[in-house]
Every structure is written in C-alpha cells, then in structure tokens.
Amino acid sequence: MKHIQVLALAAAFLLGACSGKGGGGGSAPSPSPNVAACRAAMEADYRRALETPSAPSATRPPACAGVDDATLQQIVGEIIASVTATP
C-alpha cells in the first residue's frame, strides 16, 4: 500500500512541478539555469510531500526558473527513483 501512496504522490508532484511558468511555450529560458539547485529544491518539496500527503501540491520551485520541462521530468524521475530506493 505504501508503494501505491508513493506513486500517487509522485504523479501529483510531477504534474505540479511541471506546470506553471518556464520551460517551453515560446518563452526564452534564462541564460544558464542552475539544474543542481532545481533538483535540490524539487527533492526537498518531494520529501515534504511524502511526510505530509495532505499538503498542497507542489509547484515549480523558483530555483527551477529557466529549466525546460524535459529536464524537469528527468529530475523528477531521478528523485523518485532515489527516494523509493532508500529503505
């Protein structure tokens, strides 16, 4: 059952993190987005979501400004894989 909850949170997180401003839609990305800072912010948001499932859905963290949606999806996949692999 816990695995299903994690997957449900992951789906909600992915949808929230990839919505909003930035990445695609004709807007020019910032010159050099900080992917490491974006990953750290997204991982912190995801861990908070795991701890408090009733919390509001995450949105794209400010640290992810300029990071395109494909990179965000890759980051989310990596975060989910690393968190679910941790006992």
Whether residue 48 lies inside any domain: the answer is yes
How would DSSP label each residue in 18-74? TSSSSSSTTPPPPSS--HHHHHHHHHHHHHHHHH-TTSPPP---GGGTT--HHHHHH
What's the domain range around 80? 2-21+32-85
Q: What is the CA radius of gyration of the chain?
A: 13
Q: What is the pLDDT of residues 15-47, one digit of tens each?
A: 555 555 444 444 554 468 999 999 999 999 988
Whether residue 68 lies inside any domain: the answer is yes
Q: What is the pLDDT of residues 60-75, one digit of tens each?
A: 899 999 999 999 999 9
58, 17 Cβ separation under 8 angstroms: yes
Q: How many domains does the chain have?
A: 1
Whether residue 14 lies inside any domain: the answer is yes
The closest of 6, 21, 4 to 64, measured between CA atoms, is 21
Whether residue 27 lies inside any domain: the answer is no
Whether residue 26 lies inside any domain: the answer is no
